[in-house]
Amino acid sequence: MTGGITHLRHVDLAVVDPDAERGFYRDVWGLVPMAEDSGALFLAAEGSDEQYTLRLRGALARRVDLVAFGVATRADVDHFAEAASALGRGLVTEPGTLQTPGGGYGFRFLDIEGRTLEISAEVQPRAAREVGPREAIPTGLSHVVLNTTDLDGAVRFYTEVLGFRVSDWLEHHMCFLRCNQWHHTLALTDNPHSSLNHVAWEMRGIDEYMRATGRAMRAGIDLAWGPGRHGPGDNTFSYFSAPSGFVTEFTTELERVDDHAWTPRVFRRIPEESDLWGTAVVRKAEPFVGVPDPGAWTPPPF
Ligand SMILES: [Fe+2]
């Protein structure tokens, strides 16, 4: 008996100005640089036992290098490698020992729009610490949202091949998917091109989320949308544009889902359902739309 994907592990990005991005994620966002190797910087979240939640490297144009998911066992890695092989596109890397911090056993493959995904197990956990009251630093990664040109195809791929479950829809525009008790670890949204919509970091609670939001606002970081609270997932949101232009989110209090008692709902694209508090007066569309990702069908160099 093999198990499914357990959680989101890390997101790897290439950016034009890695020094600016590193400074932003360290000083404004509250992540901790923990290792550097061959031009890649690994940043951890204090409250997470993942070795790193974000990998940054420099490149001529910004792109998504990969999205990494965890599974419980080596057998689960092999199971997903077989399922990915059956897609007929080959794998980017065969299952084997990972050379990234914490090691482990994993492989890489491409999804239906050529995004590089990694699935791994047995990565050595990092010594995390509990984030305390009023500490406005991320406790870990919450979710990633991908822009897709083929919403139904992408939902089919992530549910049928990777075992995600549909939690909710936002009309036929966005689909929220879970792999554990959290309402969404992944969401897919309709877009003119395939790209990254945003990456979200979990905060300890509302107070820490608001303090972090205020810190970023005071630092003059471009607020793309928020602060507010969404209908789907019931989570709070403050979206900012990082120096690279990629959107990053502080969130907390994401809804938990009981698999056996859950029926997916369809939310409407109206302010009353996307901004429950009515406080998210700033709303910019283009940072979320992004630009066509040059990482499609081109796995990262390492
Ligand atoms: Fe989000």
Q: Please write the tens of the pLDDT for every residue from 222-271.
A: 999 999 999 999 999 999 999 999 999 999 999 999 999 999 999 999 99
pTM equals: 0.98
pLDDT > 90: what percent of the chain? Answer: 97
Residue 295: per-residue pLDDT: 96
Helix (H, G, I), strand (E, B) or coil at 224: strand
Nearest residue to 296 via CA among 21, 128, 110 = 110
Quote the ligand 1 centre to 214 CA distance (angstroms). 18
Q: Distance, CA 23 to ligand 1 centroid (Å)?
A: 22
Q: Is 70 exceeded by the pLDDT of residue 219?
A: yes
Segment 260-277, tens digit of pLDDT: 999 999 999 999 999 999
Interval between CA 26 and ligand 1 midpoint (Å): 20
* Separation of alpha carbons 29 and 11, rounded Å: 15
pLDDT at position 237, please?
98
Whole-number Å distance, alpha carbon 199 to ligand 1 midpoint, is 7
CA of 187 to the centre of ligand 1 (A): 8
**pLDDT at residue 1, rounded to an integer:** 64
pLDDT of the residue at 281: 86
**Residue 26 pLDDT greater than 80, yes or no:** yes
Residue 234 has a pLDDT of 98
Residue 82 phi/psi, 5-degree rounding, is -65, -45
Looking at residue 2, its pLDDT comes to 81
178 C-alpha to center of ligand 1: Å? 13
Q: Taking all residues of the chain, what is their mean pLDDT, rounded to a whole number?
A: 97
Number of helices followed by number of strands (H, E) in the chain: 6, 18
Instruction: Say if CB 18 and CB 59 are below 8 A apart.
Output: no
Q: Does residue 75 register a pLDDT over 70?
A: yes
Q: Is the dihedral of CA 171, 175, 180, 186 positive or negative?
A: negative
Tens-place pLDDT, residues 141-163: 999 999 999 999 999 999 999 99
